[in-house]
Amino acid sequence: MTLNITGSFHETTLENGNVVTEYDGRNLLFDPDAGFVLAIGHFSTIIEPDGDVLQPLEGHGQIVNVFDLLI
């Protein structure tokens, strides 16, 4: 199996220290809620300075569980 992973991401640190990460295109990601996924579209996460997830992976597009592809 081959996955085409051509996406991009960028991070922005907010004044309160939270980090917003935005993903565009096809990205291979791990998210505590979504798991190990191929995210296709525009998605984002927000992480607090202490590492806690304020906003899990969300956005517009398709999320494919990678483990489901292996079955």
Q: What is the pLDDT of residues 27-53, one digit of tens each?
A: 999 998 889 999 999 999 999 999 999
Q: Is the pLDDT of residue 1 over 90?
A: no
Q: Is the pLDDT of residue 22 over 90?
A: yes
Distance from C-alpha of 65 to C-alpha of 11, rounded to nearest angstrom: 24
Of 4, 8, 1, 2, nearest to 43 (Cα)? 8
pLDDT of residue 26: 97
Residue 45, judged by CB atoms within 10 A of its CB (0-12, 13-18, 19+), counts as buried
Q: Is the pLDDT of residue 68 over 80?
A: yes
pLDDT of residue 2: 83
What is the pLDDT averaged over residues 21-27? 98
- For CA atoms 42, 62, 36, 51, give the dihedral sign: positive
